[in-house]
Chains A and B, each alone.
Chain A
């Protein structure tokens, strides 16, 4: 299998390695095919970094996704991990089956806001309430990127499509919902916030239970805004040489760095503004009610609150609830899986 990186590269130049002796390259994936500047790419970068720094064994990781630009990204990180690109909105079920089969694997699921909050809302809901140990990331851009810019259910009221269509429906807050549903680790971040993203991802890797992270991840191609000097319409009007259909503007990654307890106004590629607000350092993430209240308050102020809202490290996981064997099911020998001849005889006698 061809890979963009491989272990032998360590031979040529000595490199820094992590606690299990692997260098950063071992955590990279194929070259991305997403638009330059797409928030999803920044998230892949953070994932690579976090898994490397935490010294996670990539062979023990499975990458899972649904369908969408976001769902393509598992190909672009952790090239030495098995991956499963499922069908649209149904990644949670694939993850559930795989992790029940082998509980020693570390599952990292990547979904989009369409993949999660529309077609996949049913599976999302049940994944949250089952507390299946895995990391579930929503790369949230408020639109359907891959099908070219329709509204998703996380789009804010009043946001406008390229076609001029205005969203009139209230946005689903996946974090508030996840808390409500019993998720045991709920966080939100911004794809450009390297520091916060890394911290949250590392905490998620360490969490024993389901870790749900909604990452605001701007779509540079379809998150358009009329009147913006960097909008699709504006650039198109001012550049006659562009191939209209295939045109994708090139943007630099947006990065932010701001202190806990403060807010930050970020101007996005399309000229729109995102008012990020970070939970203060002394915020205690163990109170569900307060967490939801905080989210509601921020929502009313028009701010996007970020940070780890809620953690319950002691909740029973799906594995606990099912009394699942400590040995991964796939590693149990045939003797443990097929009852003896005597058992069949006993059952047959019982049925006579």
Chain B
């Protein structure tokens, strides 16, 4: 081991008596379907409204109503967005889980709870705040059904007073939350005020966890990754969208549908410049993408693991017949149905070679709403340029959680529609072969149906074909096309989004991650530098297949930790498939696969374990 300082384990978390300002975790335990989602998002927004960096993660069950759900808000003045393992402020609203929720929090934490649950007798090392939610909601509204829905927003008011959120920020946040429902906004604000007043009059003040205004969120937006992807697709000019509902990808297609009906109806005719179709299953969804891509449209589908499994056969056809299309895989926990509402980077290895025979696919790995917006634009350009499927590998954490983000940039470039020959082009060309390499980049020229020229039509098939798109079983003709497709794939390495490399020290240790695994790495590297004096370098992958920089990066280090959220070290396996034995020998793995977004605590624990070994 070549580290200067002796390595220590990460510090065990405990809540100290020092006041903690703008750096703690609020954990809200409620029942699914009880209106807690609006209360939680409003809370998140209110904190953001105060200029304090914040992130929220929703741990929800695969159920519509009645099962426990948790929402974790991390307030962090330094802007770390990764999930934290510990809890500082607990809001216990769910009788089913209240007991175990309380038992799990560290000593010194605050617990706001629904009075009838009588939680204060459980532990004496916590500060309890009993709130009679049922009594408080009564004067707010008469209808029992509405009472149930606004009951939760009362804890926003309680927390506002307890932690120092100013009511103005909270009210703005609630207004935004119910932008299109002024009645609901009014009612919720009323309820939040009741909570605030109650707390002010009845609860002892505390000084351990405080929120104080900052100016770090100016101009920031709050959006989930699926919404960001939807916007990217709309601005990419997507024409055909087909999908089959599956958590956590449905909200991508649904938000896209909302945006498109708002912004993509032709003002001149009132008609749609797009087609969005809910297919009968994922086989049909991907088939429609292929049909549309073949006919010259920008087409996409959004799905998750089980859908990816069903799309295997068509994906191979797209690869071999060279049909463009974009597939969003918002990954969830597998194997099988797994945990549908939990997050994982579990489809990476499977998707890389999705389908039988020699099939290879291109994947992009966005880590933030901003990046998935940009990558959505890029994915359509790449798909049409390379005439193949582009898989955008998001996950539930990115897709369904709300993220603070800079506003998105309007597309800089015109669309790249790839090598498409028009009737005029064909007139000038002597000899056109659909699957011929003309430019040396492995990318052939195509025509689209409806092109009025006798040379234009060709027959697209998944069976053996020649450079002229004719059926063949001839070994030479067959391999010629297959080798050319391989060449196209190899050349693609240099035009895919390059890795983001932070290599400004002579550090011997490095990290590689991708997608949402990025967030615990950022925080862990800072902790290693600031608390342990360990410098590290970092490469964040943004695309597969890898480009040369990845190998150079590994060469420049002694130990490289590949951080990812799956059990089988899937990305590391893909590296093993093509890197040198020397490079492979340097690779180590840090993984999590429990369905929760990886925390820096988890990352560092496994880092130190291996550094010691």
Q: Residues of A with Cβ closer than 8 Å to B?
A: 1-2, 6-7, 57-60, 62, 64, 74-75, 79-87, 90, 92-102, 104-105, 122-123, 125-126, 322-326, 328-330, 332, 334, 336-339, 341, 343-344, 347-348, 350-352
Residue among B222, B235, B471 with most chain A CB within 10 A: B235
Task: Determine whether B266 belongs to the interface, using a CB cutoff of 8 Å to chain A.
Answer: yes
Given A102-B450, A338-B415: A94 touches B290 (CB 8 Å cut-off): yes
Asked if B350 is at the interface (CB within 8 A of a chain A CB), the reply is no
Asked if B269 is at the interface (CB within 8 A of a chain A CB), the reply is yes
B457→A83 contact, CB < 8 A: yes
One of A97, A104, A336 near B290 (C-beta < 8 A): A97
The answer to whether A59 and B450 have CB atoms under 8 Å apart is yes
Please state if B295 and A123 are interface contacts (CB–CB under 8 Å).
Answer: no
Q: Which residue of A lies closest to B291 (CB)?
A: A97
A61 — nearest CB in chain B belongs to which residue? B449
Q: Pick the residue among B231, B272, B284 that contacts A93 (CB under 8 A).
A: B284
14 pairs across A/B with beta carbons < 8 Å? A1-B432, A75-B459, A79-B457, A87-B462, A93-B291, A94-B290, A96-B277, A101-B239, A101-B295, A126-B280, A337-B415, A343-B263, A344-B410, A352-B407
Say whether, besides A329-B240, A337-B273, A351-B221, A104 and B450 are in contact (CB < 8 Å).
Answer: yes
Question: Which residues of B lie under 8 Å from residue A350 when comparing CB positions?
Answer: 179
Q: Which residue of chain B has its CB nearest to the CB of A123?
A: B284
The answer to whether residues A344 and B292 also contact, given A1-B458, A324-B271, A339-B235 and a CB cut-off of 8 A, is: no
| Given A102-B450, A323-B272, A329-B239, CB of A334 within 8 Å of CB of B415 | yes
Q: Judging by beta carbons under 8 Å apart, are A326 and B237 in contact?
A: no
How far is the CB of B215 from the nearest CB of chain A, in Å?
14
Closest to B239 in A: A329
In the assembled complex, which residues on chain A have CB atoms less than 8 Å from the CB atom of B266? 325, 336
Contact indicator B460/A98 (Cβ below 8 Å): no
Known: A83-B460, A126-B280. A94 touches B296 (CB 8 A): no
* Bound complex: CA A57 to CA B453 (Å): 11
Q: Does B219 contact A97, Cβ atoms closer than 8 Å?
A: no
A84 to B293, CA, bound (A): 12
**B113 sits at the interface (CB 8 A):** no
A123 to B448, CA, bound (A): 24
CA distance A84 to B234 in the complex (A): 28
- Please indicate the chain B residues that have their CB under 8 angstroms from the CB of A325 in the complex: 266, 269, 271-273
Q: Does any Cβ of A come within 8 Å of B486's Cβ?
A: no
Complex contacts, B198 vs chain A, CB 8 Å: none
- The answer to whether B539 has its CB under 8 Å from any CB of chain A is no
Given contacts A59-B450, A101-B240, contact A339 B277 (CB under 8 A): no
For residue A24, give the distance in angstroms from its CB to the closest CB of chain B. 16
Q: Is the CB of B415 within 8 A of A97?
A: no
Taking the nearest CB of chain B, how far is it from the CB of A334, in angstroms? 6
- Considering only CB atoms, which chain B residue lies closest to A338 in the complex? B237
- Are A122 and B281 in contact, with the CB atoms below 8 A? yes
CB closest chain-B residue, reference A90: B287
Greatest chain A CB density within 10 A among B280, B457, B468, B471 is at B457
- Chain A residues with CB below 8 A from B272, complex form: 322-325
In the complex, are the beta carbons of B449 and A94 less than 8 A apart? no
* A7:B454 contact, CB within 8 angstroms: yes
Given known pairs A82-B449, A93-B291, the reply for A330 and B297 (CB within 8 Å) is yes
Question: Quick one: given A87-B462, A105-B450, A339-B263, are A330 and B239 in contact (CB under 8 Å)?
Answer: yes
Chain A CB within 8 A of B118 CB:
no
B382 within 8 A of A: no
On whether the beta carbons of B294 and A94 are closer than 8 Å, the reply is yes
Binding site for A on B (CB under 8 A): 179, 219-223, 231, 234-240, 242, 259, 263-266, 269-277, 279-281, 283-299, 313-314, 317, 407-408, 410-411, 414-415, 432-434, 447-463, 468-471
Task: Determine chain B's interface SS by DSSP, over half rule.
Answer: loop
A1 touches B455 (CB 8 A): yes
Q: Which residues of the partner chain B approach A347 to less than 8 Å between Cβ atoms?
A: 231, 259
Residues of A within 8 A of B280 (CB): 122-123, 125-126
Q: A98 contacts B454, CB within 8 Å?
A: no
A110 to B407, CA, bound (A): 49
Query: Which residue of B222, B235, B291 contacts A95 across the interface (Cβ within 8 Å)?
Result: B291
Which residue, of A58, A80, A95, A344, has the highest number of chain B Cβ atoms within 10 A?
A344
The answer on a CB contact under 8 Å between B408 and A87 is no
**With known contacts A101-B291, A123-B284, A90–B314 Cβ distance under 8 A:** yes
Apart from A59-B457, A82-B449, A82-B459, what are 13 other A-B pairs with CB-CB below 8 Å? A60-B450, A62-B295, A83-B458, A86-B287, A90-B314, A96-B277, A96-B288, A100-B297, A323-B271, A338-B235, A338-B415, A344-B231, A344-B410
Q: How far is the CA of A105 from the CA of B448 in the complex (A)?
A: 11
- Tell me whether B432 and A339 are in contact (CB under 8 A): no
Contact A81 B408 (CB under 8 A): no
Take A80-B454, A96-B277, A351-B221 as given contacts and tell me if A101 and B296 are in contact as well, using a CB distance cutoff of 8 Å. yes
Name B296's contact: one of A75, A102, A337 (CB within 8 Å).
A102
**Residues of chain B contacted by A58 (CB below 8 angstroms):** 457
A328, A341, A343 — which one has the most chain B CB atoms within 10 A of its CB? A343
Please determine whether A85 and B460 come into contact, CB atoms closer than 8 angstroms. yes
Point out which of A6, A93, A97 has the most chain B C-beta atoms below 10 A from its C-beta.
A97
Residue of B nearest to A59 (CB): B452
B474 → A minimal CB distance (Å): 15
Tell me, in angstroms, the Cα distance from A86 to B222 when the chains sit together: 42
Q: When the two chains form their complex, are residues A348 and B408 in contact, meaning their CB atoms are under 8 A apart?
A: yes
Q: Which residues of B contact A79 (CB under 8 A)?
A: 457
Question: A90 touches which one: B219, B236, B283 (CB < 8 A)?
Answer: B283
Which 5 residue pairs of A and B lie closest in terms of their CB atoms, listed nearest first? A97-B291, A93-B287, A337-B237, A101-B297, A97-B288
Using Cβ atoms and an 8 Å threshold, which residues of chain B touch A336?
Answer: 266, 273
Whether A329 contacts B274 by the Cβ 8 Å rule is: yes
- Which of B271, B288, B432, B470 meets A94, CB within 8 Å? B288
- Residues of B contacting A339 in the complex (Cβ-Cβ under 8 angstroms): 234-235, 263-264
Known: A97-B291, A330-B448. A82 touches B415 (CB 8 A): no
- The 8 Å CB contact of B314, one of A57, A87, A337, is A87
Q: Which of A100, A326, A348 contacts B240 (CB 8 A)?
A: A100
CB neighbours of B239 from chain A (8 A): 101, 329-330, 332, 337
Contacts of A344 in B (CB 8 A): 231, 235, 408, 410
- Complex Cα distance, B288 from A96, in Å, reads 6
Q: How many angstroms from the CA of A84 to the CA of B280 in the assembled complex? A: 21
Question: How far apart are B425's CB and chain A's nearest CB, in angstroms?
Answer: 15
With both beta carbons as reference points, the residue of chain A lying nearest to B237 in the complex is identified as A337
Bound state CA distance, A190 and B425, in angstroms?
Answer: 43
